[in-house]
């Protein structure tokens, strides 16, 4: 029997778990971190973009030795039709002034680095071990039981950083099952390509990076987005849609079929040509937003990261929310311990308060209506991409037709597709979703 007791047990060694464990260990607390994968990061999948702001607050000098691919200087947003796109780009040389704000990273290497920092800080990490259930004393969580012999370990608080598919909280009754309408299923590939080729194709120099976020006909009318990121010697390309949409799709299109379609898009194919597929993975992403965030603290337990649904789907931000929630949870515990308070729900409520004060809940709150709007408005994915693209084509094709006639045609196409009422309604919905 293990019967060992820790100040805190962190379940999971992804960004939220690592941040929590690191912060706690740095403050001198006795932390046990339990990861079910073979090594930290083996079960994690992300685009991946690292947001410096969130990590700086935990490891200010992370740039010294963290494995970073390219710092992002250009953001492209594309609305795709079958063989065209309408895009908006923002590129600034300001982004070339250190310290850099966002980087592309390769999770396998980044997680390894982050985990080594966590161990350096003094946390005890064990891998290939699955927490099967929380040990409860009535309402109070007192520890965990793992799948190994003698696997009962005790702690004053258990922080669940066990990802989007967390079963522990469900088992303990803290919240219900994840619903298909609150998660997306995404697939991605890493394509290897020489540095020079990437830099030529994307108009960037050494260490500079480009991020392309896309939506449109590639998701066959399902609610979803696609992305293409530049890493040092590889490109990451991926696409994801709401799981409920995949299930409801009469064609039963598989996620990887969408990815293949994306790769063949005439605007994308030339960018990835010659790339050698080196990695393929899939993962679920929380998409429920504000309304899907469960109760994130209780008697001796807290929830951080994807496990709490902390993902800003509109801006595709997840890892920074993960790190921030991990940090805030840890800080709450540290403060309570310093004041010699027991880690009751009353005391841990400070975590939720801190979340509400931070950009995490503020951003989620702002976009709280987006999931519902998108679910109830398939036209944003079925009609608008086509309309917008055809409008652009009409406007940019010089063929002797008068500009006024073109404008009339464009407007007419929108009216025909959506009718006045629909157009107004769509505008209102967007306003509602974004406010």
Partner 1 sequence: MHIVVCIKQVPDSAQIRVHPVTNTIMRQGVPAIVNPYDLFALEEALRLKDKFGGRVTMLCMGPPQAEDALRKCLSFGATDAILVTDRSFAGADTLATSYALTAAIRKIGQEQAVDLVFTGKQTIDGDTAQVGPGIAKRLGLNLLTYVSKINELDLDGRTLTVERRAEGGVQRLQTTLPSLITMLEGTNEMRFATMDDMLRAGRCAVRKWNKDDAGIEDVSKIGLKGSPTIVSKVFAPKARSQRAEMQEVGDGSGVNDVCLNLLQKIFTTHPTLEAETVERLSA
**Which residues fall within 8 angstroms of residue 51, CB to CB, at 6 or more apart?**
101, 102, 317, 319, 320, 323
CB of 19 to partner 1, least distance (A): 19
CB of 212 to partner 1, least distance (A): 22
> Quick check: 87 and 76 in contact, CB under 8 A?
yes
Enumerate residues 89-108 that contact partner 1 by CB under 8 A. Answer: 106, 108
> Whose Cβ is closer to partner 1: residue 122's or residue 294's?
122
CB of 111 to partner 1, least distance (A): 13
CB of 268 to partner 1, least distance (A): 23
For partner 1, which residue of 89, 247, 278, 403 counts as binding (CB under 8 A)?
278
311: closest CA among 411, 240, 416? 240
32 forms part of the interface with partner 1 (CB under 8 A): yes
Q: Of all helices (H) and strands (E), which one includes residue 423? A: helix 403-434
Q: What is the CA radius of gyration of the chain?
A: 23
Alpha-carbon separation of residue 182 from 224, 253, 313, 356 (angstroms): 12, 19, 11, 21
4 forms part of the interface with partner 1 (CB under 8 A): yes
419 forms part of the interface with partner 1 (CB under 8 A): no
Please state the φ and ψ torsions of residue 119, each to the nearest 5 degrees. -70, -40
CB of 39 to partner 1, least distance (A): 8
**Interface with partner 1 by CB under 8 A: which range of 21-29, 53-61, 120-128, 392-400?**
120-128
Enumerate residues 333-372 that contact partner 1 by CB under 8 A. Answer: none
Q: State how far the Cα of 419 lies from the Cα of 220, in Å rounded to an integer.
A: 22
430 forms part of the interface with partner 1 (CB under 8 A): no
Supply the angle between the helices 107-120 and 15-26 in degrees, to the nearest 10.
Answer: 20
CB of 366 to partner 1, least distance (A): 38
233 forms part of the interface with partner 1 (CB under 8 A): yes
Q: State how far the Cα of 143 lies from the Cα of 6, in Å rounded to an integer.
A: 9
Q: State how far the Cα of 96 lies from the Cα of 281, in Å rounded to an integer.
A: 31
List the helix and strand counts (H, then E) for the chain. Answer: 15, 17
> Whose Cβ is closer to partner 1: residue 153's or residue 302's?
153
Enumerate residues 157-186 that contact partner 1 by CB under 8 A. Answer: none
CB of 350 to partner 1, least distance (A): 30
Burial, 340: exposed, middle or buried (Cβ in 10 Å; 0-12, 13-18, 19+)?
exposed
Site string for partner 1, 122-151 (x = CB under 8 A): --xxxxxx----------------x-xxxx
For partner 1, the binding residues (CB under 8 A) are 2, 4, 32, 39, 106, 108, 124-129, 146, 148-153, 190, 192, 233-234, 278-279
């Amino acid at each position: 029997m293990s019967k060992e007791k820790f100040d805190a047990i962190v379940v999971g060694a992804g960004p939220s778990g690592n941040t929590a464990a690191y912060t706690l260990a740095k403050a001198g607390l006795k932390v046990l971190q339990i990861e079910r994968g073979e090594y930290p990061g083996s079960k994690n999948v992300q685009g991946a973009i690292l947001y410096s702001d969130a990590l700086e607050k935990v490891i200010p000098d992370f740039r010294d030795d963290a494995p970073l691919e390219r710092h992002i200087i250009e953001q492209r947003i594309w609305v795709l039709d079958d063989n065209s796109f309408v895009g908006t780009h923002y590129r600034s040389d300001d982004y070339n002034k250190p310290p850099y704000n966002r980087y592309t990273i390769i999770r396998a290497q980044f997680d390894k680095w982050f985990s080594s920092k966590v161990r350096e800080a003094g946390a005890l990490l064990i891998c290939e071990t699955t927490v099967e259930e929380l040990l409860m004393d009535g309402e109070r969580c007192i520890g965990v039981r793992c799948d190994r012999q003698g696997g009962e370990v005790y702690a004053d608080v258990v922080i669940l950083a066990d990802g989007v598919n967390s079963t522990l909280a469900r088992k303990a009754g803290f919240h219900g099952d994840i619903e298909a309408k609150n998660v997306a299923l995404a697939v991605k590939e890493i394509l290897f390509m020489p540095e020079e080729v990437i830099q030529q194709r994307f108009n960037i120099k050494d260490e500079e990076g480009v991020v392309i976020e896309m939506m449109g006909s590639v998701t066959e009318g399902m609610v979803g987005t696609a992305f293409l990121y530049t890493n040092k010697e590889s490109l990451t390309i991926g696409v994801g849609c709401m799981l409920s949409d995949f299930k409801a799709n009469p064609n039963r299109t598989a996620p990887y079929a969408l990815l293949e379609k994306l790769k063949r898009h005439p605007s994308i194919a030339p960018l990835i040509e010659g790339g050698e597929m080196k990695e393929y993975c899939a993962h679920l992403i929380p998409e429920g937003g504000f309304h899907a965030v469960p109760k994130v603290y209780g008697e001796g337990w807290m929830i951080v990261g994807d496990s709490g649904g902390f993902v800003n789907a509109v801006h595709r931000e997840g890892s920074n929310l993960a790190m921030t929630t991990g940090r805030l949870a840890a800080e709450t515990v540290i403060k309570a311990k310093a004041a010699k308070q027991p880690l009751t729900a009353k005391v841990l409520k400070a975590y939720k308060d801190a979340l509400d004060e931070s950009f995490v809940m503020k951003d989620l709150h702002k976009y709280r209506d987006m999931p519902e709007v998108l679910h109830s408005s398939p036209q944003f994915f079925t009609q608008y991409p086509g309309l917008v693209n055809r409008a652009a084509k009409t406007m940019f094709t010089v063929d002797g037709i008068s500009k006024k006639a073109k404008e009339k045609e464009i407007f007419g196409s929108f009216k025909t597709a959506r009718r006045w009422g629909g157009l107004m309604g769509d505008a209102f919905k967007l306003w509602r979703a974004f406010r």
